[in-house]
């Protein structure tokens, strides 16, 4: 079900390939999923051409299932970031096949080091289940509130706070992604930006060029204010 880690398909973040299958759905309503994501989650679905990386037959490309997978990847990203995991890439669809009454597909999803691959496989499954739920449920305030509570209790509380400095690293990852800088979570809250001799390691908002004395002063706002006041 799960295969190798690595940088693939032009992604700037370490990724994991997942080989999955799902029973064919009688009807796929992408417009309803989009209303959920845009109105109640404030996110846009990535264009289909940006996530389709593998070869898919013309017949399959004309079905709505590739569009469903792009929504699954968008929801996966939302769940990761809401869990304070620095995953900002859109992910990729590597393969899609139709066999009997099932769809077989391979997804390339962004991951962070330091967590088991099973965590990300579970988040993809949650994302698929949510996409199907959105497709079958008309969006409304009451339904959205119920959905938020279920996501928080059944998903986010299980994964949140699993990484030190997770929230700070999310901001670092978003900025690196905008600047097209490869990045990787090294574990224990450490992030590496870039590769080779020019790579930079950060811990939260701190980097190697920060002075030890300056970091300790800034860690306490009262002490920092006192030192600044004394300096005039």
- Answer yes or no: are the C-beta atoms of 44 and 77 closer than 8 Å: no
- Of the pLDDT bands very low, low, confident and very high (cuts 50, 70, 90), residue 164 is low
What is the spatial distance between Cα 124 and Cα 71, in angstroms, rounded to a whole number? 11
What is the spatial distance between Cα 182 and Cα 199, in angstroms, rounded to a whole number? 10
Span 24-39, mean pLDDT? 93
Question: What are 98-157's pLDDT values in tens digits?
Answer: 888 899 999 999 998 878 888 999 999 999 999 999 999 999 999 999 999 999 999 998
- Of the pLDDT bands very low, low, confident and very high (cuts 50, 70, 90), residue 158 is confident
Percent of the chain residues past pLDDT 90, beyond the cut:
37
Using CA atoms, how far residue 5 sits from 15, 17, 125, 151, in Å, is 6, 7, 18, 27
Question: What are 41-95's pLDDT values in tens digits?
Answer: 998 888 887 788 766 666 677 789 999 999 999 999 999 999 988 888 889 998 8
Average pLDDT value over all residues in the chain: 86
Between 28 and 164, the more confident residue is: 28
Per-position DSSP letters for the chain, written without gaps between them: -EEEEE--TT-SB-EEEEEEEEEPPS---HHHHHHIIIIIS--PPPPHHHHB-S---HHHHTSSHHHHHHHHHHHHHHHHHHTT-------EEEEEEEETTEEEEEEEEE--TTS-HHHHHHHHHHHHHHHHHHHHS---HHHHHHHHHHHIIIIIHHHTTSSTTHHHHHHHHHHHHHTT--EEEEETTEEEESSGGG-EEEETTEETTS-HHHHHHHHSHHHHHHHHHHT-
Residue 165 has pLDDT above 70, yes or no: no
Residue 33 has pLDDT above 90, yes or no: yes
Q: What is the maximal distance between C-alpha atoms in the chain?
A: 76
Between 60 and 198, the more confident residue is: 198
């Amino acid at each position: 079900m799960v295969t190798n880690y690595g940088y693939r398909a032009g992604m700037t973040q370490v990724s994991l390939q997942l080989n999955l299958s799902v029973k064919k759905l009688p009807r796929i309503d992408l417009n309803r999923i989009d209303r959920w994501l845009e109105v109640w989650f404030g996110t846009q679905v990535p264009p289909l051409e940006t996530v389709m990386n593998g070869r898919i037959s013309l017949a399959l490309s004309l079905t709505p299932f590739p569009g469903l997978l792009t929504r699954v990847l968008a929801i996966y990203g939302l769940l990761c970031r809401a869990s304070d995991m620095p995953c900002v890439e859109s992910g990729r669809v590597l393969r899609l096949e139709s066999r009997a009454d099932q769809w077989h597909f391979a997804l390339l999803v962004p991951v962070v080091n330091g967590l088991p691959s099973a965590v990300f496989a579970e988040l993809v499954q949650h994302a698929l289940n949510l996409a199907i739920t959105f497709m079958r449920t008309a969006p409304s305030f009451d339904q959205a509130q119920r959905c938020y509570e279920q996501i928080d209790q059944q998903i986010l509380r299980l994964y949140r706070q699993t990484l030190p400095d997770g929230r700070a690293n999310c901001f670092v990852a978003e900025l690196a992604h905008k600047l097209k800088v490869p990045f990787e979570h090294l574990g224990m809250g450490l992030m590496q930006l870039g590769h080779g001799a020019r790579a930079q390691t950060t811990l939260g908002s701190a980097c190697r060029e920060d002075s030890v004395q300056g970091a300790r002063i800034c860690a306490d706002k009262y002490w920092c204010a006192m030192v600044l006041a004394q300096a005039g």
